[in-house]
Structure 1
Amino acid sequence: MTFSPSRLRAARARREMTIKSLSERVGLTARTISSYENGHAESPPEETVKKIASALSYPFSFFFGDEIEEVHVETVSFRSMKKMRARQRDAAIASAQIALLFNNWLEENFELPPHNLPDIRGEDPEAAAMIIREHWQLGVQSIRNMVHLLEAQGIRVFSLFENNKEVDAFSFWHGSTPFVFLNLMKSGERGRFDAAHELGHLLLHKHGAPQGPEAEREADRFASAFLMPESSIRSRSSPFPSLRQIIVMKSSWLVSAAALTRRLKDLGLITEWHYRTLNVEMSKKGFLRHEPEGIEREKSALLNNVLKQLWNKGVTQEQISRELNIPIDDFESLVFSASAGGKRNINVTPKPSLSLIK
């Protein structure tokens, strides 16, 4: 077995641990750990790897084998970079590297749908939202489940069960495959907007370019237009709506009261003064922190069906994690299982249909 420096880097980043803190835990110098991570030293002795594995709560076997695929930060579109510390960002990217291991395993064992995303870079966000709706034959009706829609169009969607809300969501292209990661600590409405926001990045900012505040505003505009098409909003809106009317209306598009209010303002259906008044009222009632009449968090249909088929063949999540040489908790955090309190119950979902290759 060959020791893998990139696997050590990924495991340490996943645990949000610095080189110094890891070196202190295993009784080595920071320089020694750095040399192992950069491949500038001979492979560490077996006893040293055991200490590192114990300190990082990763299986000993994880640190051996092929180098783990890199996910470069400049190619990743994060939902909110300004609230995130570098250590949190690196932990999220490390979870994406673990997801790539699992995705490779999935593609070896299942026929997964290819992506169905046209190249519309450079389009105006509002126009891009209508182009992709037409491309996917969605019309202007409400989208009932964003996660299921993305999966059906060949986007790999994984959960990101971080212990913080700073890492909202992120996306990237890996070769010809688009990936989206969603934080499960958000409300159902916020999760849907995050998913649409990341779809905007995948379409408008392929391979992470450009990045920055303007790119985030474009992705927000895309998400708003994609979830709430202008013609649909105009046909159902009423003049000078009250907050109660907003709450009733939002159920048509499964978005937050704040997102719908902003969309009404952007389309000129309410005045700036009315928009501010509604936001003040929502703030006083706590609706900006806790969504009124909220919806359930969306989960993966594709991963659910994969795990159901494997369960029927006697293959458990623990067995998959052992085959991938990753901790079961890290595996569960990717497949939406952790949101159910770690339970590994699997509900049957009809779409998308999958077939085992072997």
Structure 2
Amino acid sequence: MTIGGRIKQARKAGNFSLRKLADEIGVSAMAISKYERDQDVPSSGVLLRLSQALQVKVDFFFRPSTVSVQLQAYRKHAVLGVKEQEAIQMRIQDWVERYLEVESLFPEEQHAANLPLRKVTSLDEIETAALELRDRWSLGYDAIENLVQLLEDRGIKVGIISGFEHFDACTFKADGDPVIVTKGELSGDRQRFNLGHELGHLVLDVQGDLKPEQAANRFVGAFLVPAATARFELGANRTDLNINELHMLKHKYGLSMQAWIYRAKDLSIITENTAARLFQQFRVNDWHRQEPGKPYPSETPMRMERLIYRALAEDLISRSRAQELLGKPLQLAWEMEALQQNDLAIRSGN
């Protein structure tokens, strides 16, 4: 990628218009446009001001493009604008490039996801597909304690992106590797639903009258709470579900209370009328926006960050490069405290 391409990527990732960025760095909008189209080359001073305005290192403009991103599925609100979509995609592109760069330092850590792709034409086949994947990953029927960690361990790269209210999640391939990115400002149960939904897009080949979004939604419940598990917890037939019961199950399985109602309805544990009445109770109390009780904790991807600190420990990268790859300040508080304690111990020994 050229310097102009990098300038455009950083501008869109920062959601800057040409005019806004030009005003920030003291040049004309036409100058920015020429830089991006490689019709002119910015001076070192302009590059420095660009890096400050766009909050990237100067080295970013000279980084070669190393990844091809192919979008597969995109969950968003209808009001998400084109500029916001471009900003999201550019920010994801930068994150994936950094991820693949640090991963390349450890070839033995590069494991193919080897995900199955199952043709499904009915809801029952989706239930079977979810069970087959759990069996393939040796999960049994128990609750999945940490879905992010599970996906990372199975070769799926997981990213979190914040700052975009109307974005939910997306799935794509980066140099052939499956990648899932989800919104950051979510409770853990909503985050896990997004991840499970996108996983469904990766493993389901939806055909016939089924709709891909409908299929992915059904897959989430079937994967997080298999039918046998749901009936074990709820029973085979119920006339009602208790709010406290749903809250406890939410925290046991990481599936929202409302998703549990859908799961019970889908499996005919409760009737359509019972489900409608429960959903009405949630709307009346505004629980459909924020469910009652303690929220389920969100999960954090750790693999990329772990590899960066490993590379730093092995002197494969400098501290400044580690910070650039991480995209945030290094967590050195514990390290500094340990060094201070070590220094005190040495002095005491003398």
In which range does the TM-score fall when normalised by the shorter chain? 0.7 to 0.9
Could you give the per-residue CA deviations for residues 86-111 of structure 1, whole angstroms, max 9, x where no partner exists? 22222221121112222222222223
Q: Where does structure 1 lack aligned partners over 5 or more consecutive residues?
A: 348-358
Q: Specify which structure has the bigger relative contact order, considering alpha-carbon pairs within 8 angstroms and separated by 6 or more residues.
A: 1
Within 2, Cα distance between the matches of 1:264 and 1:216?
19
| Residue number in structure 2 paired with 1:217 | 214
Structure 2 match to 1:112: 109
Question: TM-score scaled to structure 1, two decimals?
Answer: 0.79
1:136 lines up with 2:137 in the alignment: yes
Structure 2 match to 1:43:
41
Contact 1:6 1:68 (8 Å CA) reproduced: no
Residue 53 in structure 1 maps to residue 51 in structure 2:
yes
Does the 8 A contact of 1:196 with 1:222 survive in 2?
yes
- Residue 115 of structure 2: SS of its match in structure 1? coil
1:312, distance to aligned residue in structure 2 (A)? 4.9
Distance between the aligned counterparts of 2:5 and 2:332, measured in 1? 30
Deviation at 1:229, TM superposition (A): 1.0
**Cα distance in structure 2, aligned partners of 1:108 and 1:192:** 28
* Change in 2 beyond 3 A, CA 1:67/1:154: closer
1:172–1:180 contact (8 Å) kept in structure 2: yes
Q: Distance in 1 between matches of 2:334 and 2:72?
A: 31
* TM-aligned CA distance change 1:310 to 1:70, over 3 Å: closer
Q: Of 229, 246, 264, which aligns to 2:226?
A: 229
CA distance in 2, matches of 1:310, 1:71: 25
TM superposition shift of 1:311 = 6.1
Which aligned pairs between 1:82-97 and structure 2 lie closer than 5 A?
A: 82-97=78-93
Q: Structure 1 316/267 Cα, relative in aligned 2: closer, same or farther at 3 Å?
A: farther
Cα contact 1:71–1:97 (8 A) shared by 2: yes
**Paired residues of 1:243 and 1:278 also in contact (CA < 8 A):** no
Q: How many angstroms apart in 1 are the aligned matches of 2:285 and 2:319?
A: 42
How much has 1:277 moved relative to structure 2?
A: 1.3
Question: Is the CA contact (8 Å cut-off) linking 2:67 and 2:175 kept in structure 1?
Answer: no
1:86 and 1:343, CA in 2 relative to 1: closer, same or farther beyond 3 A?
farther
Is the 2:99–2:304 contact (alpha carbons within 8 Å) kept by the matching residues of 1? no
AA at the equivalent of 1:255: L
In the alignment, is residue 271 of structure 1 matched against residue 267 of structure 2? no
Q: Which deviations, in whole Å up to 9, do the C-alpha atoms of 1:322-358 show, x marking residues without a partner?
A: 4x5xxx7xx13xxxx9xxxx966689xxxxxxxxxxx
2:228 maps to a residue whose letter is: S
| Identity value in percent | 25
Spell out, residue by residue over 1:278-299, the C-alpha distance to the aligned partner (whole angstroms, 9 max, x if none).
1122233343232333221112
Distance 1:36 1:70 in 2: 23
Q: Contact (CA 8 Å) 2:35, 2:41: kept in 1 or not?
A: yes
1:113 and 1:153 in contact (8 A); partners too: no
CA shift, 1:317, in A, is 6.6
Task: For 2:67 and 2:59, locate their aligned partners in 1 and report how far apart those are by CA, in whole Å.
Answer: 17
Equivalent residue number for residue 321 of structure 1? 323
Count of paired positions: 323
Q: Distance in 1 between matches of 2:151 and 2:333?
A: 23
Q: 1:71 to 1:33 in 2, by over 3 A?
A: farther
Say which is worse superposed, 282-291 or 163-172, in terms of deviation. Answer: 282-291
Choose 125-134 or 274-283, whichever is displaced more. 125-134
Q: Supply the distance in 2 between the matched residues of 1:290 and 1:91 (Cα, whole angstroms).
A: 28
Q: Secondary structure at the match of 1:282?
A: helix
Alignment of 1:126 onto 2:127: yes
The equivalent residue for 2:283 is 283
Change in CA separation of 1:200 and 1:95 when aligned onto 2, cut-off 3 Å:
same
Cα distance between partner residues in 1 of 2:132 and 2:114: 10
Which protein has the bigger strand share?
Answer: 2
Residue 109 and residue 79 in structure 1: after superposition, are their counterparts in 2 closer, same or farther (change >3 A)?
Answer: same
The gaps in structure 2 that reach 5 residues or longer are 336-350
User: How far apart are the structure 2 equivalents of 1:144 and 1:91?
Assistant: 32
2:5 maps to a residue whose letter is: S
User: How far did 1:118 drift?
Assistant: 2.9
- The match for 1:17 is 16
Q: Deviation of residue 270 (structure 1)?
A: 1.2
Cα deviation for residue 257 of structure 1 reads 0.3
Computing the radius of gyration over CA atoms, which structure comes out larger, 1 or 2? Answer: 2
Deviations 1:224-260 (A, max 9, x none): 2111111211222141222232223333322110111
> What does 1:235-246 correspond to in 2, within 5 Å?
235-238=232-235, 239=238, 240-246=240-246
Provide TM-score, normalisation by structure 2. 0.81
Deviates more, 1:256-265 or 1:119-128: 119-128
In the TM superposition, what is the alpha-carbon distance from 1:5 to its structure 2 partner? 2.1
Cα gap change, 1:6 to 1:69, in 2 (>3 Å): farther
Equivalent residue runs for 1:332-343 within 5 Å: 332=328
Letter in 2 for 1:140: Y
Amino acid across the alignment from 1:25 = E
SS of 1:170's equivalent in the other structure is strand
- Contact kept, 8 Å, 1:143 with 1:253, in 2: the verdict is yes
